Amino acid sequence: MKKLITKIEGEATLQIQGDEVVEWVDIEFHQFRGIEKYLENKHYMDALVINPRVCGICGHSHLIATAKAIENAFEAELSDKAKYIRELTLNFEIIENHIKWFYITLFPTQIKDKKYLFKALQFSQKISQAIALIAGQYPHNSYAIPGGITSDITYLDLTKVKNILLELQKFENEIWDDFDLFFKNLPKETGKSNNRFLTKDLDISKVKEIQNNPYQNVTYDGLYYETGPLARMKKNIEFVYQEYEDSIYSRIYARVYEIFYLINKNIEIISLVDLSEKSYIKPKIISNKGYSIIEAPRGILIHEIEILNEKIKRYNIIVPTQFNLSNGTKENPSAAQKAMINERKEYLDTIFKCFDICAVCVGH
């Protein structure tokens, strides 16, 4: 049976085998843009404008990954100030993604009520504003460039950013109440997967892309791993993970937990920023290869670049959704596939969306 899943920054089709319970599911995506090819022969700085447009909700992560990949190729130096400020905005995007996903994508699979959309937007508008105070606008800024950042912010700007964070902290209890509400009629043990996790502290030589034209599946050491908030926050939510392992409960819990974890982290980072340092240190431009591995909202994001005479010779992007939603095999299923197997079809939408899919990213 075929099931079209929508509202996942695009669409995907699930080809399901099985009657009451899922025996196997193939995952198919539809969109493809060929951005890696589009980048070839462009000036390397142009990638900072093109790559955020891989995605409208996690474009900022692509920007940071691009800047870092080029910096890796140039062996560039950054001030601590630039590093901290980039971490601030990257964290903000993760927070905004989790909120939007929780209320706009996930919640409607169980509870349909418009008020949750507006609750999410109240939050996300403030976060977008916090990013704009630093980077000029959100979505789609290019303030992170190889060597640092273009902006020259003041403590007045940081005061405004910090106050946004303090306001957001007040919502913590309310959001956890909504989390409990979501699970009122939903079994917490569903959606257990391979229980294999990957964070950015990996050995890049073990990452392999397998053609699934025009997309690519991604294995690590030959196996499919799960990446994302659960992989990142597992040790912080040990008590939940021990009880529920990698079920949808842990997966969603980790995302909600990470929201407030990162809000706290950002408040801490702000106190460390020393604005007397330089925003930008001009790097030495050389022909070379470079790569970056960062933690984006949905998990590991990898950018690889090869620069020749200031032009992009080759560019490769591996997005977290490729890791989690690879189209594996019965012997070697991906995290999302394993999570759906042996589960009742009525929970498919929720289980699938638990992996916070970004279809446009897959179709880059």
Partner 1 sequence: MHLKPKVIWIDAIGCNGCSHSFFNLPYLSTLLEKLDILYHPLLESDEFKIQESDILVIEGALKDIKKFDSNLLTIIEKLFVNTKRVIALGSCASFGGMFGEGLIFNKEKLGKFYPCKNKVINLPGCPIHPEWLGYIFDMLIENKPILLDEENRPKEIYSFVSHSGCIRNEYFDWKVDSDDFGSKEGCLFYNQGCQGPFTHSSCNKILWNEVSSKPRAGTPCFGCTERNFPKENLFKTDTMMGIPSKIPLGVTKRAYLTLAGIAKSLKNERLEKRLFEYEKTNNKNRG
Residues 93-112 contacting partner 1, CB under 8 A = 100, 104-105, 108, 112
State which of positions 146-165 bind partner 1 (CB under 8 A).
Answer: 147-152, 154-155, 158-160, 162
Hey, how many other C-beta atoms are within 10 angstroms of the C-beta on 216?
Answer: 17
Task: Kindly tell me which residue out of 64, 67, 135, 198 binds partner 1, with binding defined by CB under 8 A.
Answer: 135
137 vs 329 by CB, closer to partner 1: 137
Given a contact cutoff of 8 angstroms between Cβ atoms, the answer to whether 258 and 229 are in contact is: yes
283 vs 299 by CB, closer to partner 1: 283
332 binds partner 1 (CB under 8 A): no
CB 327 to partner 1: min, Å: 16
Strand order in the sheet with 2-5: 2-5, 12-17, 24-29
Q: Tokens 């590093």 map to which residue?
A: 83
Asked if 78 interacts with partner 1 (CB under 8 A), we say no
Nearer to partner 1, 154 or 211 (CB): 154
Establish if 36 lies at the interface with partner 1 (CB under 8 A): no
Q: What is the CA radius of gyration of the chain?
A: 20
- Assess 265 for contact with partner 1 (CB under 8 A): no
Q: x-or-dash pattern for partner 1, window 268-287, by CB under 8 A?
A: --xxxxxxx-xxx-x-----
Secondary structure, 3-state, 109-144: HCCCCHHHHHHHHHHHHHHHHHHHHHHCCCCCCCCE
Q: Which residue, 157 or 209, has its beta carbon nearer to partner 1?
A: 157
Nearest distance from C-beta of residue 247 to partner 1, angstroms? 25
Q: How far is residue 117 from each of residues 152, 298, 301, measured CA to CA in Å?
A: 34, 20, 27
Q: What are phi and psi of 29, to 5 degrees?
A: -105, 165
Residues 198-217 touching partner 1, rule: CB under 8 A, are: none
292 three-state secondary structure: strand
Query: In this complex, which beta carbon is closest to partner 1, that of residue 9 or of residue 343?
Result: 9
Query: Minimal CA–CA distance to 344: which of 2, 17, 4, 20?
Result: 20
Residue 250: CB minimum distance to partner 1, A:
25
3, 24, 129, 288: which one binds partner 1 (CB under 8 A): 129
